[in-house]
Amino acid sequence: MKQFSVLLFWLALSTSQTEIAAESNLPMVYIKTPQEIGSAPKVPCTVKLLLSNGSELGNTNLVIGQICFHGASSQAYDKKSLALTLNTSTRWLDLQPSRQWVLNAAFVDCSMMRHKLSYDLFQSLSADGSKRFASSSRFVEVNLNGHYHGAYLLMERVDRSLLGLRRFDKSDTNQAVIYKAIDHGANFRELGHSAYEQREPAAEELQFWGPLDDLNHFVSESSDALFFDANLGISSRVNIDNAIDFHLLILFTSNMDGIDKNFILARDALTATAQKPKFFFVPWDYDATFGRNYEGSRVAPTAWLSNHLFDRLLDNLTYQQRYASRWKVLRKNQFSAENIARRIDDNAQTLGAAAQRNELRWKGIAEPGSGRLTFTEDLKQMKRWVTARIQWLDTAIAQRTQD
């Protein structure tokens, strides 16, 4: 009976689906829920994705799952992000198959691309044998219970599969771990793990805080001699090249929260045959970047952002040289103003008319003196801000690296 009711729903909507999808330049995600969505618990839902232009080629089948609001403070906004848990692993578009998906609302980000721009940038820093992991994403439009709900960013969940970590085995004494920083206490100065949540292993399977506790204790308490020891020091515990790229991404985008909150730390499991695994950073939550703060206010391009780990690293001359050298390479290539402008323009072209449809559906953030900030104006401001940020960072990094 339940399956028959679902079928009737989709038959009833088939005409409107085709009409809306034909207008959209983006894939359309259709969500049906029998009850109101909240932050918890998740409620049942059915989901179907249609490709743009109403094409049936490559469209997914109807998927059953559960849905709730996603995020913390962002749930106060009218347009809310959505978290989907599907009954079966599903491959959408060219993203990795998964049961867990995020539909990011980007309410305070009028450009709707700050997440994607930042994650794609970090991925672009990868080299052979040195991958920079981040959530891949695609722009979509959402129809919720038969009503247009705006443009969203369909995002992969950062999990063991995405990071290529070993599968959980409860019989192992060592496990692959993923920790998410959720509070400003994640600054590597405070002991313990109260500012984090454990993503892997699943907390209900096993509480496994030892690796993170050991790292925080080492960064906070070790002597300089031990901290920089070639065999036992920080370089044996943390992937230093990854840490440099992550810190430079934080600085370049001016992610005010991302330096001591809203980042992910991961490490593979210890094995008898492989090299000792090292912690590495994965970016998360980048809507408050490129000249905007978490509530949408403007941010000047002149803030230095750091934490206790990066402060200690930058006290070392050898690290300073590596750091300054990497900045010089990136600011001429991936972090150049020209490259960022091109990426902004490419994302704007992909969004197309969906950006205007979203503006009609949702009021943007207030902009002092000019009413509501528009999509077009936000892109202009972002480009100007990037140019000023690069110039300021040239000086700031030179001062801190004796370059």
Does residue 320 share a domain with residue 193? yes
Which residue is associated with the tokens 């002149």? Answer: 302
Does residue 61 share a domain with residue 118? yes
Which residue is associated with the tokens 């079966």? Answer: 88
Does residue 226 share a domain with residue 88? no
Taking 90 as the threshold, does the pLDDT of residue 272 lie above it? no
Does residue 127 share a domain with residue 227? no
Does residue 208 share a domain with residue 134? no
- Please give the pLDDT value at position 169: 86
Which of 269, 337, 91 lies closest to 345 in space, CA to CA? 337
CB atoms within 10 A of CB 167: 12
In the structure, what pLDDT confidence band is assigned to residue 171 with cuts at 50, 70 and 90?
A: confident
- In angstroms, rounded to a whole number, what is the distance separating the alpha carbons of residues 4 and 9? 9
Question: In percent, how much of the chain has pLDDT > 90?
Answer: 79
Across 256-277, average pLDDT: 88
Does residue 207 share a domain with residue 155? no
What contacts 24+ positions apart, CB below 8 Å, involve 348-353? 348/111, 348/113, 348/375, 348/379, 350/25, 350/26, 350/139, 351/25, 351/26, 351/112, 351/113, 351/139, 351/151, 352/25, 352/26, 353/23, 353/24, 353/25
Global pTM value: 0.92
- Please give the pLDDT value at position 144: 97
In the structure, what pLDDT confidence band is assigned to residue 17 with cuts at 50, 70 and 90?
A: very low
Instruction: Indicate the residue among 135, 160, 185 that finishes a domain.
Output: 160
Task: Name the domain count of the chain.
Answer: 2
Across 346-352, average pLDDT: 97
- Please give the pLDDT value at position 173: 81
- Indicate whether 165 belongs to any domain: no
Domain that holds residue 264: 173-401
- Please give the pLDDT value at position 368: 64
- Please give the pLDDT value at position 59: 52
Does residue 177 share a domain with residue 156? no
**Which DSSP symbol is given to 300?**
-
Instruction: Indicate the residue among 160, 190, 215 that finishes a domain.
Output: 160
Which of 304, 10, 264 lies closest to 143 in space, CA to CA? 10
Sign, CA torsion 69/179/174/165: positive
In the structure, what pLDDT confidence band is assigned to residue 369 with cuts at 50, 70 and 90?
A: low
Which residue is associated with the tokens 């892109």? Answer: 379
Does residue 149 share a domain with residue 180? no
- Indicate whether 41 belongs to any domain: yes
Across 47-63, average pLDDT: 72
- Please give the pLDDT value at position 143: 97
Taking 50 as the threshold, does the pLDDT of residue 14 lie above it? no
8 vs 203, residue with greater confidence: 203
Taking 70 as the threshold, does the pLDDT of residue 277 lie above it? yes
Q: What is the mean pLDDT of the chain?
A: 90
Taking 90 as the threshold, does the pLDDT of residue 113 lie above it? yes
Taking 70 as the threshold, does the pLDDT of residue 371 lie above it? no
CB atoms within 10 A of CB 192: 13
Does residue 96 share a domain with residue 190? no
Which of 156, 137, 138 lies closest to 51 in space, CA to CA? 138
Per-residue pLDDT reduced to its tens digit, 178-231: 999 999 999 999 999 999 999 999 988 999 999 999 999 999 999 999 999 999
Does residue 240 share a domain with residue 345? yes
Does residue 152 share a domain with residue 203? no
- Indicate whether 166 belongs to any domain: no
H-helix or E-strand spanning residue 209: none
